[in-house]
């Protein structure tokens, strides 16, 4: 019954070409250990989905694992932009479909319930909208009740979501502390969920009222202390500025500098 496996086996649910949803946000709660294991496994042609990109996104794109990205932008807060992501989009080496944070969260919400679509008023008037409509990622419709224009967003159901939690039990019931941005929508939209957690405990030992992601939706659990470093994990540890500066410098320069940084950190990790 237990879903607890090693990290390598857990990320084995991600195959070449998988649509992978990431749950980090900028400099906080990135599943960096899981992402490093995916890079180490040599995965290719990943199609990423993430509401707001961060370090995990920049790592996967910088390591050449990614062919497309559905997101609403991202950054490393004051440390800088996602240089590898931005360069890959500008050069055409990955395809990007760009939403706003709310509209992409609503696509994932629609995916989590498999609703036919969700209509919204956001995105109207923006240049973001036209490429989304062209790609089948949005449609402009009329509200059937009062006839106003609305943007219909189709459901998005990624193959696998990767989440770094504070605490998880053997059945996959996962606890995320602090703000939740789009974590629940993302995890519940995915067909499978991989949880790395600071601490894994036996079934029945977590207060069900504290559970963020019900275990019934989780496929694999791996205990990875400091699995979010150097990003901040609320309730566990703060972000580490010097490691972000190292990342941003390598990602900005690209080429051999980025390759050397990835070689060093994908194997060695960021833990102290």
Partner 1 sequence: MLVVAAASLIQSEDVALVGLGLPQLAAQLAQRTHAPKMRMLLELGVFTPRPSGPSAGIADPRMWAGAGAFGGVLDTLGAMLHGGRITLGLLGALQVDGDGSINTTLVRDEGGRERRFNGSGGGNDVASLSQRVLVVMRHDRRKFAATLDFLTSPGQRVAGRRRGELGLSGSGTVAVVTDRAILEISPEGPVLASVHPGEDLDDVVACTPITLAMPPGGPSETPAPTTGQRNILREELDPDRWYTG
Residue ranges binding a second copy (CB under 8 A): 115-121, 136, 139, 141, 143-146, 148, 150, 152, 154, 177-178, 209
267, with CB counted inside 10 A (0-12, 13-18, 19+), is exposed
Number of residues that bind partner 1 (CB under 8 A): 72
- Rounded distance, CA 263 to CA 86, Å? 21
Strands 149-153 and 139-142, bridge-based pairing: antiparallel
Binding mask 71-110 for partner 1 (x = CB under 8 A): xxxxx-xxx-x----x--xx-------xxxxxx-xx--x-
Convert residues 147-186 into a mask of x (bound to partner 1 by CB under 8 A) and - (unbound).
-xxx------------------x-x-x----xxxxxxxx-
| Partner whose binding site includes residue 119, from a second copy, partner 1, none (CB under 5 to 8 Å by kind) | a second copy
Binding of residue 225 to partner 1 (CB under 8 A): no
Q: How far is the CB of 137 from a second copy (least distance, A)?
A: 10
- Residue among 174, 176, 249, 260 nearest 217 (CA): 174
Could you say which of partner 1, a second copy, none residue 260 binds, taking C-beta under 5 to 8 angstroms by partner kind? none
Distance from C-alpha of 132 to C-alpha of 97, rounded to nearest angstrom: 7
Among 20, 22, 51, 220, binds partner 1 (CB under 8 A): 51
Under the criterion CB under 8 A, does residue 117 sit at the interface with partner 1?
Answer: no
Q: In angstroms, give the least distance from the CB of 72 to partner 1.
A: 5
Q: How far is CA 270 from the centre of its chain?
A: 19
Residues 47 and 67: their CA atoms lie apart, in Å, by 6
| Token output for 235 | 């309730």
> What is the distance between the alpha carbons of residues 102 and 99, in angstroms, rounded to a whole number?
8
**Position 25 contacts partner 1 (CB under 8 A):** yes
């Amino acid at each position: 019954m237990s879903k607890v496996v090693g990290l390598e086996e857990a990320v084995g649910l991600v195959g070449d070409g998988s649509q992978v949803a990431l749950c980090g946000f900028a400099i906080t709660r990135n599943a960096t250990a899981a992402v490093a294991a995916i890079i180490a496994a040599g995965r290719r042609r990943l199609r990423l989905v993430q509401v707001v990109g961060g370090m995990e996104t920049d790592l996967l794109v910088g390591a050449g694992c990614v062919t497309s990205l559905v997101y609403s932008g991202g950054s490393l807060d004051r440390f800088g932009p996602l240089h590898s992501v931005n360069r890959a989009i500008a050069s055409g080496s990955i395809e990007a479909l760009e939403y706003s944070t709310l509209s992409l969260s609503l696509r994932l919400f629609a995916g989590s319930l498999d609703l036919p679509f969700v209509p919204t008023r956001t995105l109207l008037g923006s240049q973001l909208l036209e490429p989304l409509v062209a790609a089948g990622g949005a449609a402009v419709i009329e509200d059937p009740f009062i006839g106003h224009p609305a943007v219909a967003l189709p459901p998005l159901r990624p193959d696998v979501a990767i989440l770094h939690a504070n605490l998880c039990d053997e059945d996959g019931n996962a606890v995320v502390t602090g703000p939740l941005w789009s974590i629940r929508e993302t995890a519940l939209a995915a067909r499978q969920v991989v949880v790395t957690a600071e601490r894994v405990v036996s079934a029945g030992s977590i207060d069900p009222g504290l559970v963020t992601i019900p275990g019934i939706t989780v496929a694999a659990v791996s205990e990875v202390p400091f699995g979010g470093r150097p990003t901040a994990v609320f309730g566990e540890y703060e972000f580490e500025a010097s490691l972000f500066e190292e990342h941003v410098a390598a990602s900005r320069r690209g080429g051999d500098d980025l390759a050397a940084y990835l070689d060093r950190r994908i194997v060695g990790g960021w833990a102290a």
